[in-house]
A and B are shown apart, each in its own frame.
Chain A
Amino acid sequence: MAILTLETATFQERSTSLKRFIVKDAVFKNLTFAAALLVLSILFGVFLSLIIGAWPAFQTFGLEFLTSQSWNPVTEKFGALAPIYGTIVTSLIAMGIAVPVGIGIAIFITELCPPSLRKPIAIAIELLAGIPSIIYGIWGLFVFAPFLQSHVQPAIISLFSGVPFLNDLFAGPPYGIGMFTAGLILAIMVIPFISSISRDVFETTPSVLKESTYALGATTWEVIWNVVLPYSRAGVLGGVMLGLGRALGETMAVTFVIGNAHKIAASIMAPGTTISATIANEFTEAVGDLYTSALIALGFILFVITFIVLAIARYMLSRLEVKTR
């Protein structure tokens, strides 16, 4: 009899604790599920809030917002063409420099560098990506721009002064600040992104492929050009798109050195503006709902552009992950 009550007691204890665990399990599972949904809802929240905020501007200006380059807070006439142009030009300058340099660094680290130096150099390059963008900004404004103004820009301007087309592209005077300087600083910021992803994908090239090409008598460069690069093309492209996404959206570094001029100049030496720099500079000072709305509309355009670029980047990189598995 005594044994039986004891057994019932343990049984009851067990079933209550089991029930407790069932509840705990359900709660925890649903919590994690809710958190995962929250991540999704952040993205939709961003889209939705930007659309709502930008609505007055889109309603007032329509498609003209994308094609007009006037930006006049007094008469409340706003067009996004100049910032969009500046964003694209600075990013193109940055990618033009960062893509070859980034891939070059990756080649150096994976194929040429003595193994003992590999890690330190890779970490040093990645530290460049860790430096906050405001540091690039203050350095660009006080150190890099004056240096370009006194040493580099005059030389470039006089070098191309006689050449048709190029003399417009590199027309003076040398301000120091401007789209050229912003593009160069963006290039420095983007290099580590491209080089570290390229390095990762270069390392996935099977050694058998490389070794057999060497055995056929190929030089190191021929192995890189004919085996490593074709094999890792998608991944490198993903890295480049990721870098482009960063360059398009970078704010602080550009804001310091772009010059904030709402005009489209033929010369890349001239001051300009980008979408993010315009928002950073003018948002807190914007008076009137239409002005604020126009700035949010700029933000919406930037978000759409970077979303597309980053989606392509992730698509390229995810295909790669499937391949290496």
Chain B
Amino acid sequence: MTMYTRRLTKNRIWLGLSMGAAAFGLLWLVLILGTLIWNGVAGLDVTVFTRMTPPPGGTGGLLNPIIGSLIMTVLAILIGTPVGVLAGTYMAEYGRYARLTFIVRFINDILLSAPSIIVGLFIYEIIVVPMGHFSGFAGAIALAVIVIPVVVRTTEDMLLLVPNTMREAAAALGSPRSFLIQRVIYRAARAGIITGILLAVARISGETAPLLFTALNNQFWNVNLNAPMPSLPVVIFQFALSPYEDWQRLAWTGALIITVAVLSLSILARALTAKGVER
């Protein structure tokens, strides 16, 4: 009987600990989001979206970094998505059992979680150094390199979910392979592929490290891709580490904007897959 009670106690202790672990995890989410809202909402008003970044001690907003971030994100998605979707198509359709697919999948999974600062160094070496200066273009390419593995992974997964009977039916009607993929398979997997793109947007909107020495930063209004371009994460980094209180307050507000954007994108992506793909 004592053996039995000992087992029961052990059971209770360990299960209690795992419950504690869950509470511990949720606690951080609440704490981080709580302080973020508390500190960020204080500085949130229209001027944040309509005025430029201020000099120390002045008043201003975050208009130029927000525009810079938007430009670079859109460009990165425009560059990264076609490459990712095409590579995913090769892996799921043409080369499903090819050796190359296994290698690409392995490498892609590693790229997916490789440190993003390495991507920054890579783009610095191949674009910034030959061009001779930092540029928004280099920043967009760096972000595109991060977009590609995300899109490749989701595209391959989603295309593999499309039932083979659909391919067979389209082929039986005499449609060529490329026609079949573009008109039938892509349509069937559309929700999933869009989810992948949304996840990629969520991933790159908060990325700071790859932009530090590609797009650099810019205190002024700039939509020229050939010049250093400000971005929200880099401005937050600079302002948060500065000794000026106005800058720090703006950094908190920017942090709130990014977090709201990123989290709503990932929730949207989740909702889309839940509806689009019946599991």
- Interfacial residues, chain A to chain B (CB-CB below 8 A): 21-22, 24-25, 27-29, 31-40, 42-43, 45-46, 49-50, 52-53, 100-105, 107-109, 112-113, 121, 123-125, 127-128, 130-139, 141-143, 188, 191-192, 195, 219-222, 224-225, 242, 245-246, 248-252, 255-256, 276, 279-280, 283-284, 296, 299, 302-303, 306-307, 310-311, 313-314, 318
Contacts and interface: CB of A to CB of B under 8 A. Distances in A.
B119 to A, nearest CB: 8
A53 B107 contact: no
A53 B121 contact: yes
A125 to B, nearest CB: 5
Looking at chain B, what size class is its interface with the partner chain?
35 or more
Contacts of A42: 111, 145, 148
B15 A221 contact: yes
B205 A24 contact: no
B55 interface: no
B26 A124 contact: yes
17 contacts: A32-B87, A32-B90, A38-B148, A104-B17, A121-B22, A132-B233, A134-B206, A134-B255, A135-B32, A138-B236, A138-B240, A191-B25, A248-B115, A249-B117, A284-B213, A299-B117, A306-B113
A193 to B, nearest CB: 9
Given A104-B22, A219-B8, A251 B100 contact: no
A222 B90 CA distance: 46
B169 interface: no
Interface string B108-145: 11110111111101101110000000000000000001
A307 to B, nearest CB: 6
A24 B35 CA distance: 55
A39 B14 contact: no
A280 to B, nearest CB: 6
Main secondary structure of the interface of A (DSSP, over half): helix
B19 interface: yes
A251 B116 contact: yes
Nearest to A43: B107
Nearest to A286: B213
A57 to B, nearest CB: 13
A112 B87 CA distance: 41
B103 A50 contact: no
B interface, over-half SS: helix
Contacts of A224: 14
Contacts of B212: 280, 283-284
B51 interface: no
Contacts of A50: 118, 121-122, 125
A130 B15 CA distance: 27
Interface stretch (B58-66, B189-197, B259-267): B259-267
A256 B240 contact: yes
A39 B104 contact: yes
A283 B213 contact: yes
A139 B106 CA distance: 34
Contacts of B148: 38-39, 42
A64 B7 CA distance: 55
A21 B11 CA distance: 66
A27 B179 CA distance: 12
A36 B21 contact: no
A101 B115 contact: no
A28 B116 CA distance: 31
Contacts of A124: 26, 29
B106 to A, nearest CB: 6
Interface stretch (B42-50, B70-78, B91-99, B219-227): B91-99
A296 B15 contact: no
Contact of B21 (A100, A252, A283, A302): A100
B186 to A, nearest CB: 12
Contacts of A136: 32
